[in-house]
Amino acid sequence: MHLTRFRINTARAGARHLLASPQRMHAAVMSSFAGALPSQENSRTLWRVDRNAQAEAILLIVSEDRPDLTHLVEQAGWPTTASWQTYDYKSFLDGLTAGTNWAFRLTANPVHHVRRTPDEPRKRTAHRTPTHQMGWLLSRQERAGFRILETPADRRRLQRGDEYQLTVRDEQRRQFDKTEQSTGRGNRVPLVSVTYDGRLEVTDPAALRATLTLGLGKAKAYGCGLMTLARDGGQ
């Protein structure tokens, strides 16, 4: 497994073109692998864009194969002065042990299934409030191999909503056209994504390795599902 980091030059028109569309960014990421199709959605490749500041955007990729981002450097980077960094991710994953604490970041698509009447088919819909978005992640933590750390009682600023060392931010609501492969018909698809920052304890290293390499939740082709870990609150 590999973890790749690429800083996007947000001053370039090509970069802004990619950042404006998860579909275009997905195609650019998949074009980094000689054996992958740009439209492929069932790939094990995960990606995420971190906006750490208005003028700073970092593309992170987790993949089985080592990517070649030459086309991204030419389109959205600094072709003569900067490149990308790819690290051996397997050694990091193999070193995860139960009981250790980490800071984490995750961009995800928190959804649930609802129906208004008993006869109506269940419909996937996004959680719209920070409380429900936080609950979406908390309900998955055990299966995903970690436990989000609780905030000590003497450090809680609120009576409710501050029980965990977890924040939800940067909600993005987009819509895009998608063609169904089975019918060839086009649909207008909504996508809601949020970014979680927090601290966790490893409870099941094998399950957490799967979470880090296979992703968490839906919409992985559109920049969701990639969780990363860091020590001492860095990301």
Whose tokens are 């082709």? That residue is 221
Q: For the whole model, what pTM was predicted?
A: 0.85
What are the respective helix, strand and coil percentages of the chain, to the nearest 5? Answer: 25, 35, 40
Q: Are 208 and 145 in contact (CB under 8 A)?
A: yes
Q: Which of helix, strand or coil describes residue 74?
A: helix
Q: What is the pLDDT of residue 37?
A: 58
pLDDT at 53: 75
Among candidate residues 125, 145, 133, 135, the one with its CA nearest the CA of residue 211: 145
Instruction: Tell me how far apart the terminal alpha carbons of the chain are, to the nearest angstrom.
Output: 19
Structural domains of the chain in order of their starting residue, each with its CATH number: 2-92 (3.30.70), 97-230 (3.30.70.1210)
Residue 102 CA, chain-centre distance (Å), reads 17
Low pLDDT (below 70) residues in the chain: 36-43, 112-124, 126-127, 154, 158-161, 178-186, 232-235
Match 């990517």 to its residue by tokens. 67
Q: Are 7 and 208 in contact (CB under 8 A)?
A: no
The pLDDT score that the predictor gives to residue 176 is: 73
Give pLDDT, residue 159.
63
Give the pLDDT score at 49: 96
- Predicted confidence at residue 36, as pLDDT, reads 65
